[in-house]
A and B are shown apart, each in its own frame.
Chain A
Amino acid sequence: MIWIDTILQGILLGGLYALFALGLSLVFGIMRLVNLAHGDLIVFAAYLILVLVTLLGLGPFLAAAIAAPIMFALGFALQRLVLNRVLGTDILPPLLVTFGLSVLLQNALQEGFSADSRRIPAGWLETASVPLGPISLGVMPLMTFASAILVTLALQWLFYRTSLGRAFRATSDDPVTASLMGVKPASVFAKATGIAMIVVTIAALYLGTRANFDPTTGPARLIYAFEAVIIGGLGSLWGTLAGGIIIGVAQTVGAQINPEWQILAGHIAFLVVLLIRPRGLFPRAFD
């Protein structure tokens, strides 16, 4: 029974990791850009929500709804002004620029909010749980998981059912030919990063309400996110969700065996998948 509980908790935790990863997956799928500041952007969004909650006295969900368009605009501007300039065949410039951004963000947050750990208050939701036979599941983890599925569905719809999604895929295939169709790759990329930042805001909402965070929380979330993306297969949204769940289950199972092994177990699961399926579980047919 304890193991069923452990695995269920792991699946729900995987929902959080999938939320961390989906924005990354989206951006990578479209422009082959790996954003090393992704984790710090999640933490940044968490502070933004925290500020809205404490200053304006809003509930965390309303605060996240206000933070989302702000994050979209920031992501759009970041892509337009900085990242578009370093995209290209050489992977070094985007890596180093986003790495610089990561260090910059972490320390700016530390300067602005101190190194103390914080939490976004979510009232009664923090402790609410639903009994399921002998097991009880937290309401927050359940909402996180449901959000991860909803975000995956929404992105899937955006990608395959809208004209913007079509432009995303076309630009990802061949930016030059896409521009012959009237697509402006620079602006498509900016929109994609903006949308990724909305996903980041949703991830930040759950990161911040479920556990403490501080300015240095980002890099570890980035690693989980990357592991989920790579396990799932680059660019596959459902694969990313599955990858998140695998990391989550590995961590809770590891923690059940020995609390010190939680993080290590997640990493080892990642390395094992990499060993067996180097291209991930659901690789794209072409790349």
Chain B
Amino acid sequence: MAAGKYTVVTRTAASQAAALAALALLVIAVALPAFASRSLIQDMFFILTMLTLAQFWNLLAGYGGLVSVGQQAFVGLGAYMLFGGAILWGVNPVAGLLLSGVFALLLAIPMAFFAFRLQGAYFAIGTWVVAEVVRLSVAQWKAVGGGTGTSLPRDARDAMWGVEWIEMIFDTRASAARDILAYWLALALAVATIGGIYLFLRTKRGLALAALRDNVEAARSVGVDSARMKWLVFLVAAFGTGIAGGLIFMQNGRISPDSAFSIIDWTAFVIFIVVIGGIGTIEGPIVGVLVFFALQTLLADFGAWYLMVLGGVGIAVMLFSPGGLWGLVSGRTGIELFPIRRRLNRRD
């Protein structure tokens, strides 16, 4: 066989079209504050931050096989470090996002050390227990309001980088300008997350990770170091989740241990988004977050029914279509927007 007869390709027609569409969407998204209402900006902020959380959870569970139900630990600690930084040390909240990420990363090290001792489902509980420990400990931190929580101080809010500039350009009030700033940051974070995960999955290590997900034994036999991959994935996800947490509460302006460490908001919803959309794909969380937002908007007035529907849909998807909605689409049409597989094409 002549080697020159084959080429290795990752691109697909759909992925090229998707790349162009994504670029166009990105341009529109950046310009959105110029013509969108404040409530749309807030909705978009919610969607983008949930999407970021979902992508990181998907990286953990869908690719790394690490089913964590303790991601609220990183959201909560990230958020609290942003508040703590602003209150105690006068750190600008925008810069505080870095604190969020770094402290989440620091928490992830001992957390992984404990949780990696547990296999499979017990890993999930281990992460949950650590998250509870962090929540209960933070509730003892009187400087940031203890169990009742606190607000972001006025001067910290006013000092946020870029707000004055946004006020000037869009000619809005400071509160709306802060929403726009948060939205742009969320957009940047979501794009960086999706782009970063996609690029990572296309690298040699990323492919090894996908191999690990498909078959641990086989991956090990070709030399994939599963322990190291797990550490890497866990730490990266913690860093990103921490930043997202900081951002969510920077926009919110108020924090309490119960809201910042809510397992429902930051883990349950995120899991449903990934599962309903399609676990183990980059497209899945994107589809999932849109469905989730639609369900939430439609069923917002029905209180507990909304969560019951969400739980029921999650169970149904797992039982009847484990690949999620994107799995259905992709299975029928073969479309991949973020192809990571390398295919051998014959050159003729």
Contacts and interface: CB of A to CB of B under 8 A. Distances in A.
**Chain A CB within 10 A, most for which of B118, B122, B305, B311:** B311
Given A99-B268, A100-B315, A264-B136, A271 B129 contact: yes
A263 B114 CA distance: 19
A108 B303 CA distance: 11
Interface in A255-279: 260, 263-264, 267-268, 270-271, 274-275, 278
Main secondary structure of the interface of A (DSSP, over half): helix
B315 A82 contact: yes
A260 B318 contact: no
Interface in A82-140: 82, 85-86, 91-97, 99-104, 106-108, 110-111
A23 interface: no
B279 interface: yes
Contacts, number: 109
Contact of B318 (A96, A110, A234, A268): A96
**Chain A CB within 10 A, most for which of B129, B137, B264, B268:** B129
Given A104-B308, A260-B140, A92 B122 contact: no
B157 to A, nearest CB: 30
A102 to B, nearest CB: 7
Contacts of A260: 139-140
Interface stretch (A156-164, A171-179, A219-227): A219-227
B263 A219 contact: yes
Contacts of A36: 69, 124
B310 interface: yes
Nearest to A225: B125
B129 A227 contact: yes
Contacts of A101: 311, 315
A268 B133 CA distance: 8
Contact of A267 (B136, B279, B319): B136
Contacts of B268: 99, 103
Contacts of B312: 100, 104
B310 A223 contact: no
Given A34-B121, A95-B121, A223-B125, A104 B315 contact: yes
Interface in B271-319: 271-272, 275, 279, 303-305, 307-308, 310-312, 314-315, 318-319
A44 to B, nearest CB: 14
A199 interface: no
B125 A107 contact: no
Given A101-B311, A101-B315, A111-B305, A271 B133 contact: yes
Interface string B80-103: 000000000000000000000000
B129 A100 contact: no
**Chain B CB within 10 A, most for which of A85, A94, A106, A274:** A274
A91 B121 contact: yes
Contacts of A200: none
A107 B314 CA distance: 14
**Chain B CB within 10 A, most for which of A104, A260, A278:** A104
B125 to A, nearest CB: 4
Given A93-B322, A100-B318, A103-B268, A230 B311 contact: no
B207 to A, nearest CB: 20
A108 B140 CA distance: 33
Contacts of A271: 114, 129-130, 133
A148 B300 CA distance: 43
B117 interface: yes
Interface string A198-214: 00000000000000000
B114 A86 contact: no
A34 B129 contact: no
B245 interface: no
B319 A264 contact: no
A14 B319 CA distance: 36
Given A82-B315, A99-B314, A260-B140, A107 B126 contact: no
B128 interface: yes
Pairs of residues from A and B, 8 with the lowest C-beta to C-beta distance, nearest first: A34-B121, A104-B311, A103-B311, A100-B314, A107-B304, A100-B315, A107-B307, A91-B120
25 contacts: A82-B315, A86-B318, A86-B319, A95-B67, A95-B124, A96-B275, A97-B314, A97-B315, A97-B318, A99-B314, A101-B311, A103-B310, A103-B314, A107-B307, A107-B311, A111-B303, A219-B263, A223-B125, A223-B132, A230-B118, A264-B137, A267-B133, A267-B136, A274-B114, A274-B126
Interface of B: 61, 67, 69, 114, 117-118, 120-122, 124-126, 128-130, 132-133, 136-137, 139-140, 263-264, 268, 271-272, 275, 279, 303-305, 307-308, 310-312, 314-315, 318-319, 322
Given A34-B121, A267-B129, 20 more contacts: A85-B319, A92-B67, A95-B67, A95-B124, A97-B318, A100-B314, A104-B311, A111-B304, A111-B305, A223-B128, A223-B129, A226-B122, A267-B132, A267-B133, A270-B129, A271-B114, A271-B129, A271-B133, A274-B118, A278-B118
